[in-house]
Structure 1
Amino acid sequence: MSGRLFVFNPGHEEALRLPQGQSYTPPKEIRRMMLDLSPLMRLLASTDDYIWLPSADGSAQIATHEGVLLEDLSVLPPLLLTPWALEPRFIEQVRRQATSLGIRLLAPEVSSGYLTLSHRRSATDLLEYLDKHWARVEELAPRWIMPTGETERALRELLEGFRLRQGLREVIVKRPYTSSGRGVMAYDLPLSDEKISSLVAACARAGGLSVEPRLRLVQDWAAEYYYTEGEARYIGLSKFATTATTGAYTGNELQSEQALWAELSPIVGEAELEALVHAHQDFLMVRLGRGYEGYIGIDMFVYLDDAGRQKLHPAVEINVRCTMGVLALMAYEHHLAPNGSGTYQLIYGKPPTMRQLYQEHLAQRDVFVPLTFPSEQSAFYAYITRSNTR
């Protein structure tokens, strides 16, 4: 197996929706994430692997899996380009830049199955599959509004149906190619004419919108998989946190798989949770065939139904890429396993706050483990807080 070059490219979903050949520049916040959080990819790397570290001026450096910068790039063998997420424009950009540095990269395949599964509609399809092969969850499935001459009428009828037949007071509207809280909008019912017009315009720009009930969320969870040679291998549960306002990711609980399973299974049922994992795997294998290798995270959440009972939403979103949940699993294995616990935290703030916090953590290494190394300009910082090390 070739050594790998890990590259961090969050926010790729927005680029996937664009026609082939159309250029794409990530938003400023995403570019800042790339600069600040690229060292996180060390959590995935093994002995023969390397990390791509971009700079603000557009250049890049290469580091070993231990974080040591390479000065002589001529010693590198051909490497398998392993981005956070597959996106053709970004892959080609890194290949060109690597070639200028004298590095030969082997590019991963971007299959049609991968592109189809990256659309939010795939989560709707998974819910329909689970409704037949796992449990009755059809009422959780989003309804889709597509841009046609009848978009406004269809949207009004859908929202009125939600309000009158299901008694809903709030809905969630999502764009088709977004993740991590981006492109997710909450609305109180009924909507004003102004908001209806805004959603119709958004539907035309995005190529469609999904609309679903807003449930009383209690806990965010995910099931993480590694897909290779046509099979989805289950690698663990992820319990994470998001902001109440935007749904943006803020961190993960770090516990053993046994502890996480013991927390979630009483809500779902031991056999039912095992069956859900198998149903996830079967769905992914049918949809992807052998046209993808890499991580897949299926976001879920525990919510309260109308009677106040806890239930599991088994497929909120399918992330066909590495996820922060995967990095949290790796962070646990590297720094806390087998008996420790703690939190994996990703924070955002104004410079130079991140640098100051990092320096404070260096002085408390018994409690904190820095995972990135903020500069005075950094806006993002990731670290572990140890709860115990029994």
Structure 2
Amino acid sequence: MGKLYFFNPDNDLALAAGNGERYTPPAAALDLRRAGALLPLWWCDEGNEVLVETDEAVEVADSLKSTFGISGTAVRKSEASNHAAPWGWSPLSARLMREGGAAMVPAPDEIERLRMLSHRRTSMPLARAMGAEESIVARECFSETEAEAAIAAAGGDAIIKQPWSSSGRGVMGTRSMRADALRCAIAGTIRRQGSIMVERRLEREADFAALFVSDGRRVRFEGASVFVTLPSGAYAGNIVDSGDRLMERIPVDISAAIKGAEEYLTEAVAPHYRGYMGIDMLAYRKGGRLMLDPCVELNLRMTMGVAAMLLARRGLRGVLRVKPSEPSAGELNLSPIPGARFSIVVSDGEVPA
């Protein structure tokens, strides 16, 4: 039996909403979902399918397959009873996969378990298992007083995070926030999501991730992802290159952290989840030494880093980016849906130094 893939990058928003399978993502998130609908075609095996929402996407998929020799088929509804393989699991994605004809969709109690495993508190014991210094492990705070104390313990220079959030949203640095805005952000997050995460801000030098896959019994390391960032530190893309060359770009040793992650995730996650996941990491300066933060967060879903790894295995090289515009010259549009507000591209062979 094959797989039925579905690109739903709005999944973290659905988890944060917590209002079940009838959640409606914001317009921009829906636009990105439609624009990237065909991205999973690039790692389809023969017999696999990609669930899409328009007949136009089916037609574009046929063109991609003939031009690039891609396997797999785009469908509005599967008749093959393929196993569900969305970008991420939530009550919303479970409903959409069932309606799309997928088999092996998790039951509601299993989806809720995955939602709780996707909470940022999972990163706390995981970070310890990966060897993180206790001073950089996040704290989960359930009141404004507790959060303010955690921020003070970090010298007032902390990062606050919503327990469920997406693509950098819901992550704020306290150093540049006015006191009233900070209190409002803390209170609002606790009111909506029950708690807030607080961690010490680090002098980051490099951003990267370790990528893993679960087969339902064991979690194993699959490769690394290296991020492209703007001068502000904001995420701008993932390098698409061979695994060996990506590992050479990481300036600290992550081998012990990988082993700790495999052991912890096999115990805590593998019985409940099959599929890819990524652990964001960073290298930071402390007293002139380069140190590793082994677990900034766990993404219990497909990630753009995993996508970059799978694209590299198809022989692509460059930078994988999401753009709010048409592709530029020299960029390959991986999901060329006409009229889309976004484009998901790989720069043609251009790997940053």
- TM (norm. structure 1) is 0.78
**Which residue in 1 is equivalent to 2:117?**
117
* Unmatched tracts of structure 2, length 5 or more: none
Deviates more, 1:313-322 or 1:288-297: 288-297
Residue correspondence of structure 1 range 145-294 to structure 2 within 5 A: 145-146=141-142, 151-163=143-155, 170-188=157-175, 192-243=179-230, 247=234, 249-264=235-250, 267-268=252-253, 273-294=254-275
Which of 142, 148, 156 does residue 138 from structure 2 map onto?
142
Q: Structure 1: which 5+ runs fail to align? A: 99-103, 337-341, 362-367
Q: Say whether 1:308 aligns with 2:288.
A: yes
Return the alpha-carbon distance in structure 2 between the equivalents of residues 71 and 123 of structure 1.
36
Aligned length: 341
The percentage of counterpart residues that share the same residue type is 25
The CA distance in 2 between the partners of 1:329 and 1:255, in whole Å, is 7
Q: Please say which of residues 24-33 and 190-199 is displaced more in the overlay.
A: 190-199
Which of 91, 94, 106 lines up with 2:103 in the alignment? Answer: 106
Larger CA Rg, structure 1 vs 2: 1
> Structure 1 residue 329: deviation in Å?
0.7
**8 A contact 1:32–1:379 mirrored in 2:** yes
Q: Distance in 2 between matches of 1:19 and 1:387?
A: 40
Deviation per CA, 1:38-71, whole angstroms, max 9, x where unpaired?
Answer: 211112210111112223x9x9748577378779
For 2:6, the aligned partner's letter is V
TM-score, normalised to structure 2's length?
Answer: 0.86
* Structure-1 residue corresponding to 2:91: 88
Any conservation in 2 of the 1:300–1:316 contact (CA below 8 Å)?
yes
How far off is 1:328 after superposition?
Answer: 0.5
Q: Distance in 1 between matches of 2:102 and 2:188?
A: 41
Question: What do the CA deviations read for 1:203-262 (whole angstroms, capped 9, x no partner)?
Answer: 212211111111122211111111003101211011112445584x42112232222223
Query: C-alpha root-mean-square deviation of aligned residues, in Å?
Result: 2.8
Question: Residues 5 and 51 of structure 2 are in contact (CA less than 8 Å); yes or no, is this contact kept in structure 1?
Answer: yes
C-alpha contact (below 8 Å) 1:11/1:178 kept by paired residues: no
Q: 1:39 to 1:285 in 2, by over 3 A?
A: same
Offset at residue 172 of structure 1 (A): 0.9
Q: Specify the SS of the correspondent of 2:314.
A: helix
- Tell me the CA shift for residue 11 of structure 1: 2.3
Letter in 2 for 1:40: L
Between the aligned partners of 1:195 and 1:39, the Cα distance in structure 2 is 40
